[in-house]
Chains A and B, each alone.
Chain A
């Protein structure tokens, strides 16, 4: 299977996917760490894909989304954004709205805590 096919299958089979450097338990980049930290804290079930473990996926995901950087978050097959966008959407409440609209479970109280801590 080509990298593009693998990526397509991964984002279609999993409601939430984070392409990142390192793993959700051990991120290896500050930007990946920040997004994984938000998802972990909000209790969101997601598939992590460590791009450092596969050079073809690392390049492939950039081509797939026409987006030059890692991390990249996908919800129900749709590209949401990278670290800056996920951070902004978390703080504005737009991420909550997106997850609710897509029917993805998350801990609303935890999301509110993030916003309180960054107010």
Chain B
């Protein structure tokens, strides 16, 4: 399964988001440090879910990190926009 699909599957299962956009931005970082040549090194995630409402920023990010599990270590960078 592509990393993008795995991210979507895990976040959908964990938060039942109203809106979820996962963008593979790896091509924009081609040749930078962190580009491992896999084409799956950098991702941008926009997620909107009611589950985040009671959480502060740090807690929201921690919740997403936890849901992503081993994916955190498998990609170089994930930019998160959570609300």
Show the binding face of A for B, using Cβ within 8 Å: 21, 28-31, 66-69, 79-85, 88-89
Once A83-B79, A84-B80, A84-B81 are accepted as A-B contacts, the answer to whether A66 and B62 lie under 8 Å apart by CB is yes
Closest CB of chain B to A91's CB: distance in Å? 12
Which of A29, A69, A81 has a CB less than 8 Å from the CB of B57? A81
Inter-subunit contact A67/B62 (CB<8 Å): yes
CA distance A69 to B75 in the complex (A): 11
- Since A66-B62, A84-B79 are in contact, a sample of 9 more A-B pairs with Cβ atoms closer than 8 Å, ordered by chain A residue number, is A21-B33, A28-B33, A67-B61, A67-B65, A68-B73, A69-B78, A82-B61, A83-B79, A84-B81
Contacts of B81 in A (CB 8 A): 84
CA distance A82 to B78 in the complex (A): 11
Contacts of A30 in B (CB 8 A): 29, 32
Closest CB of chain A to B8's CB: distance in Å? 19
- Across the interface, name the chain A residue whose C-beta is closest to B79: A84
Interface residues of B in 20-68 (CB under 8 A from A): 29, 32-34, 57-58, 61-62, 65
- Across the interface, name the chain B residue whose C-beta is closest to A82: B61
Q: List 23 A-B contacts (CB under 8 A).
A: A28-B33, A29-B33, A30-B29, A30-B32, A67-B61, A67-B62, A67-B65, A68-B65, A68-B72, A68-B73, A69-B77, A69-B78, A79-B58, A81-B57, A81-B58, A82-B61, A84-B61, A84-B81, A85-B57, A85-B58, A85-B61, A88-B57, A89-B57
Contacts of B29 in A (CB 8 A): 30
Contacts of B34 in A (CB 8 A): 29
- Across the interface, name the chain A residue whose C-beta is closest to B44: A84
